[in-house]
A and B are shown apart, each in its own frame.
Chain A
């Protein structure tokens, strides 16, 4: 009954995020879509993979984990900001 519970939930969250990234009309997301172009799916995928690793952590309390996540996010942002559209 619960065999793929974590995987199912992960996919549910991922698809919700991807759907919003692709279809939202919010200004900040529209700007992101414009500058990232076709790379949007990859970007969402990579960001999600990074944050999913912290699903059990209390980032408000654990400053080390928070810093670790922040560095990982910084690296990803840097990577995509240098890529040509």
Chain B
């Protein structure tokens, strides 16, 4: 399969009709574009054109159809979009044309749209469900997950296969890609047919006593096996759902860990604050006590009023600080509301009058903040009464002691202020995460993880019970068959044919899985060696459950792979899976170089000549450095295009690499 042309009209950031033509020679096609220029929109266009839907990046949800229409055109009431993809496969030319049309004036939900599909094989046209089936026969949506990829998906695949209990869904997709699942499904179907034929046969004939005994035994065993199979199907479905919940719970738990750190920090600060308050109270008491008991002159009133004065000033300073913080927050909110015309609290649209009012209020707040900035809050050192205020009342001998106490007192008050500031910032951070409980999130994750383990154990038990049951059934059938073949010719060919073919398919799929996984692993290892910076040092290991690990040669497992290492491991695996797959689609990779170091980037550019007959990659200016990377790819470069970021959602596609559209602002 080779892509020849992609046409898009009124799709995401492409306001007007744009055409991307892919030459028929060479392997690598590069689409250059700045960040946010519309590179990923092209990946969505490929997917949407082929399957009528495309997922939100990093999510399992599909993009709402309304969100696929160009924003600028939407506001003018133009809700029709067309995507056309031409490709060839085994010397046949194909074209897919998918057209989105709105049913009503202001469509919002998916049901407000109609999507027309036309599929042409040379000049033969198909529409609707038949057309979709034909597309799936060329490249099914599940298998396309190994060919049309953004880097988030590469990361997910790598993560999923890096866990001992790698996701069943990923395994299923892999088995679909390497054409194993249809063998398994057909085996099951033939087993059912065989069992039914056996039952039918036995009902229609007179049985000898021995045959009757054998048939009863067979029936019992078959019903036992059926019970196990039903339970197994139920458990497998339960496992898939529980695994999804486990992944969600794990993500949520991991996202709460930093929040837990904030909570811990807050606890620590509150404790410090309480202990400082106690010290301050004690010091104040000690100082007052000294003036009350050790001085002949009644200085108590003077010292009391000094403390009252100091506390009032501190209180004022704290109030000013709080007001300043609240003003800053208010200004940020108002600026956002004015910019988006949306209320930050209720998320409703706000009209022009309200915007005008907000602008006035913003001016006032800014002036007030300016006043605060010009007259900063005094520090404790500036507020505190000077030593001179007291020194007349201090005896020479005691002066040093009492001044030290004062100094301790002021230090504690200063520290208290600093901690109060930290505490208010921590409290602000906590505002966003109210109600989040890491312990509960962890418990929830552990609950699902243990459920997954226990379901997996039950599944394994059931599978081995089914194998035992199968053996037993085989034995009984063998006895029945021998009996029948020796006795008369009245045996049921239907049951024997179905049973025989299902056994052949089962044995074949077991053998093919073993062989294919070995091939996938061997090839991925080879690719890995050609891509990794230090092949003498690292190796990739893949077991028969597709569990993937990177190791130091000699055996030690790498705990945390670097970003580049993880990406290289994932690309090696992908490359191998796409090679073992029954489909031979081109690889379309959204920014595969993002975050890779210089050497890995060069290795990967060099590898693109082997990845597929046609590889289309998206790259920004930092990911494709002309003088560095062109010499590597020029011998197998098929073509290039550049995306120009236009005004108001009007991206344009130009042939070739055009420097002026690639400079980041």
Interfacial residues, chain A to chain B (CB-CB below 8 A)? 1-3, 5-6, 9-10, 12-13, 16-17, 20-21, 24, 26-29, 31-36, 43-44, 47, 51-52, 54-60, 66, 69-70, 73-74, 77-78, 80-81
Contacts and interface: CB of A to CB of B under 8 A. Distances in A.
A77 B504 contact: no
Contacts of B16: none
Contacts of B496: 28, 31-32, 35
B511 interface: yes
A70 B508 contact: no
Interface stretch (B175-183, B203-211, B262-270, B288-296): B175-183
Given A56-B136, A77-B193, A29 B494 contact: no
B125 interface: no
Given A20-B507, A54-B185, A70-B193, A28 B477 contact: yes
A78 B494 contact: yes
5 contacts: A12-B512, A13-B508, A20-B511, A56-B143, A59-B182
Given A2-B612, A57-B182, A74 B193 contact: yes
A21 B610 contact: no
Contact of B140 (A28, A56, A60): A56
A10 to B, nearest CB: 7
Contacts of B494: 77-78, 81
Contacts, number: 138
B379 interface: no
Contacts of B143: 56
B512 A13 contact: yes
Contacts of B511: 16, 20
B186 A51 contact: yes
Interface of B is mostly: helix
B583 to A, nearest CB: 7
A73 B190 contact: yes
B493 A55 contact: no
Interface string B207-241: 00000000000000000000000000000000000
Contact of B584 (A6, A10, A77): A6
Contacts of B477: 27-28
B189 A9 contact: no
B579 interface: yes
Contact of A81 (B136, B497, B584): B497
A77 B501 CA distance: 10
A24 B583 contact: no
Contact of A54 (B186, B512, B580): B186
A2 B579 contact: yes
Contacts of B532: none
Contact of A35 (B474, B493, B498): B493
A69 B500 contact: no
Question: Which residue of B193, B501, B610 has the most chain A CB atoms within 10 A of its CB atom?
Answer: B501
Contact of A27 (B181, B197, B474): B474
Instruction: Give the most central of B497, B505, B613: most A CB within 10 Å.
Output: B497
Contacts of A34: 485
B182 A32 contact: no
A-B pairs, top 10 by smallest CB distance, nearest first, are: A32-B500, A81-B493, A59-B185, A5-B584, A2-B584, A56-B140, A51-B186, A28-B503, A27-B478, A17-B508
Nearest to B138: A56
B225 to A, nearest CB: 15
A47 B193 CA distance: 14
B137 interface: yes
Contacts of A60: 185
Contacts of B492: 81
A73 B193 contact: yes
A54 B187 CA distance: 13
B162 interface: no
Contacts of A59: 182, 185-186, 189
Contact of A10 (B140, B504, B582, B613): B582
Given A5-B579, A32-B497, A73-B186, 8 more contacts: A13-B508, A17-B505, A43-B501, A44-B501, A51-B183, A66-B189, A73-B190, A80-B493
B481 interface: yes
A12 to B, nearest CB: 8
A81 B28 CA distance: 54
A6 B583 contact: yes
A13 B182 CA distance: 11
Contact of B189 (A36, A43, A69): A69
B497 A13 contact: no
B481 to A, nearest CB: 5
Contacts of A3: 584, 613
A75 B100 CA distance: 42
Nearest to A66: B189
A26 B510 CA distance: 14
B639 interface: no
Contact of B497 (A5, A51, A77): A77
A57 B345 CA distance: 48
Contacts of A5: 579, 581-584
Contacts of A6: 582-584
Interface string B486-524: 000001111011111101110110011000000000000
Nearest to B136: A56
A56 B176 contact: yes
A13 B178 CA distance: 10
Contacts of A24: 503-504, 507
B497 A43 contact: yes
Contacts of B189: 59, 66, 69-70, 73
Given A78-B494, A80-B493, A44 B504 contact: yes
B182 A52 contact: yes
Nearest to B192: A70
Contacts of A66: 185, 189
Contacts of A80: 493, 497
Nearest to B611: A1
B504 A29 contact: yes
Given A31-B496, A66-B189, A74-B193, A13 B478 contact: no
A36 B494 CA distance: 11
Nearest to A54: B182
B140, B176, B185: most-surrounded residue (chain A CB, <10 A): B185
Q: Which of B140, B181, B491, B492 has the most CB of A within 10 A?
A: B181
Q: Which of A31, A52, A58 has the most CB of B within 10 A?
A: A31
A13 B183 contact: yes
Given A5-B582, A16-B511, A26-B507, A32 B501 contact: yes
Contacts of A69: 186, 189
Given A73-B189, A80-B493, A28 B182 contact: no
